[in-house]
Amino acid sequence: MANFCEEMKNALQNNNLAAAAKLAKEHLENLDKVPLTIAVTGETGSGKSTFVNALRGLKNSDVETTMEPTEYLHPDYPNVKIWDLPGIGTTNFTADKYLETVAFKKFDFFIIVSDTRFRENDAKLAQKIQNLKKKFYFVRSKIDHNIIDEKRDKKEFNEEETLKLIRDDCIDGLEQLEIKSPKVFLVSGKDRNLFDFDALWKLLEKELPEHKREALLLAVTNISLDVINRKKEALNDKIQLYALASAMGAAVPIPGISITVDLAIIMKFVVECQKSLGLSAESLQSLSEATGVSMEELMAEIKSPLTGVKITTELVIGVLRGCISVGGLMAAEERARLGPIIGTLVPMSLSAFSTYLALRYLLKSLWEETYGTD
């Protein structure tokens, strides 16, 4: 990242638009390829497969129970790979051989899942991972079942107290197994917006190397408004790179608007926005299945023409043509707050500047017309 920033700075200072555009294009391509490999392990029946699905934003039936290490690609981000590993207690090899057998070096971190107290084998695995300088996290699954049972069995039910008792019980058990300061997260694979799923994501992002954080952020399911807002910020930060990369492409005049833009770049960016913000047809279908709300009802609440549909050249041109501000008012508004790259770019390439304005407008309209806030 440091080398990219230095090279970009030099290219812009020397008014070398071709070099700057090439750097931007290559950097965007590299960001798409940053690998993130997650290991999820636990005994059969622990809720491991449901958790794997939760990480991938899929319903539970899309992963089969397996006794062998199995790789699953994220449906929208193939650079993100999630491995479903059998628990030590369900395999034919010992804790000493486990990490060697599953080729632990390729994993960025391990998540150890249990639907009860964590057992001695879980602790042994955690100690082995720790000795090898890898990160690991404990996930106590099926919390929604525990809450339902407690509500049914107790006249005076307190959810916060129940969650604390479960968490403390897991922590005490792990400390007795000589795990120091264990990190335990209570989750429900079926209700990802509840309990500790958001806290788990925040810690994972914090502890990952910087160059892998965006891969996790864009791939994680939209479990909270905070996650969605962070995704919007990440997409907004990439607009300058997209616009600069467009300087290498062929500018296309938009009928009815006195600007030229790189339509290929714009379409790529809108598709990325759709995937990341959960607004593609596939994402909305998954949301419909998870919530029980029909696609018709979901689409009725969405105003943006870019949501839940296939992105085409005609669609993008139609949206841009309908916005007078792209060619006039918006340009005046944006000049006062241009980023450092585009501020240098303006006198160098008007078409790239127009692409920048178009991308800003499309993200802003897609966001506001879906979430109703800036």
pLDDT in tens, 158-176: 888 888 888 999 999 998 8
Per the model's pLDDT, the better-predicted residue between 158 and 370 turns out to be: 158
Per the model's pLDDT, the better-predicted residue between 335 and 66 turns out to be: 66
Provide the pLDDT for residue 66.
62
Task: Identify the top-confidence range among 28-42, 97-111, 143-157, 294-308.
Answer: 28-42
Direct distance between the N- and C-terminal alpha carbons of the chain, in angstroms, rounded to an integer: 29
Question: Can you tell me the mean pLDDT for 207-235?
Answer: 85
pLDDT tens by residue, 179-207? 888 889 998 877 777 788 888 888 988 89
Q: For the chain, list the domains and their CATH numbers.
A: 2-32+230-371 (no CATH), 34-218 (3.40.50.300)
Provide the pLDDT for residue 374.
54
Question: Can you tell me the mean pLDDT for 73-89?
Answer: 85
Average pLDDT over the chain reads 78
Per the model's pLDDT, the better-predicted residue between 284 and 114 turns out to be: 114
Provide the pLDDT for residue 335.
45
Provide the pLDDT for residue 257.
53
For residue 260, what are the β-bridge partners? 253
Provide the pLDDT for residue 12.
74
Provide the pLDDT for residue 159.
83
| Whole-angstrom distance, CA of residue 361 vs CA of residue 323 | 9
- Confidence class for position 331, pLDDT limits 50, 70, 90: very low
Among 11-25, 30-44, 49-63, the minimum mean pLDDT is found in 49-63
Question: Can you tell me the mean pLDDT for 44-56?
Answer: 83
Provide the pLDDT for residue 82.
92
Provide the pLDDT for residue 336.
38
pTM over 0.85: no
